Amino acid sequence: MTFDAEKLLNKQFPTVQQTYTDKDCMLYALGVGMGIDPLDEQCLRFVYEEDLKVLPSQSVMMAHPGFWAKEEDTGLDWVKVLHAGQEIIMHKPFPDSGTVEATTKISEVSDKGERIGALIVSDRVVRDVATGEDICTLVTTILARGDGGFGGERKATPKTDVIPKSEPDLVCDLPTLPQQALIYRLSGDFNPLHASPTVARNAGFKAPILHGLCTLGVLTHALLKTCCDYDPSRFKRMRLRFSAPVYPGETIRTEIWRNGNEMAFRCKSLEQDTIVINNGYLLVD
């Protein structure tokens, strides 16, 4: 099926309702690398049921619409779809169990040309079904590398957050496991690009890559550790741009610049010596 931007903008997503348990929260935390040191009691709070805390980045997996880019009616070359950017706005912390719901809506499709691809932005608000309260707002940007040049509007790229040229105020190095993507996908992101060597090679990678949202989870750990004293309630808003893939087993270095309760950040794969997350912004309480 040919890619049709107007049809995608009008795509009707079903409302997704999800009931999750403390076990789901612990599995997610393990999937982003919490618990690598089982004697670290600060991290243990996210992977052990006693006084369990929920990582703010788990919001991206809540009432998730699934890998909708693979659905035939989108017309997308799904193998070439990459996560380009993410914004998380936390209205309140997630409880360690409950039922949530959300409806996804495509808000923008921009033609970046045949060589770059189509930039697609979607929004969803995750609500607590029991209370009716909004827990978070999520803005997701994907790059469909195989679908540019469709003749659509070439909108200006939104202004990105600036990374200072000075040395960072804080640096946090966190390792990932060789099997990290295989653990993370059990929280609901089953894109085979992150598990199948064949699919990864067909997409132009030497091996399955880490989910961009798993890298985001490792980043969230670094930000909680360095900026929030591991208190999820202090984590208010984060936005970032994914700039390169991480391979499972690599170490992610997060560099942070402080400006009051606002932070700029970026992440680097030490093994690749490459920036993998850039133009990051964090607001804390």
Paired sense of beta strands 251-259 and 170-175, if any: antiparallel
Measured between alpha carbons, how far is 255 from 241 in angstroms, rounded to an integer? 14
**118, 144, 210, 241 from 82: Cα distances, Å:** 11, 6, 11, 11
Cα separation, 91 vs 20, in Å, equals 19
Does residue 189 have an active-site annotation? yes
Catalytic residue among 83, 194, 211, 221: 194
DSSP 73: G
More confident residue, 70 or 129: 129
Mean pLDDT of the chain: 94
Helix or strand (DSSP H, E) at 197: helix 197-202
pLDDT of residue 156: 62
pLDDT tens readout for residues 190-222: 889 999 999 999 989 999 999 999 999 999 999
Domains by residue range for the chain, with CATH: 5-284 (3.10.129.10)
Report angle CA 266, 153, 106 to the nearest 5 degrees.
65
pLDDT band at residue 158 using 50, 70 and 90 as cut-offs? low
* Structural contact between residues 252 and 212, judged by C-beta atoms closer than 8 angstroms: no
Give the number of other Cβ atoms within 10 Å of residue 76's Cβ: 24
Which of 108, 145, 77 lies closest to 11 in space, CA to CA?
108
Q: Out of 96, 189, 211, 221, pick the active-site residue.
A: 189
The predicted pLDDT at position 82 comes to 84
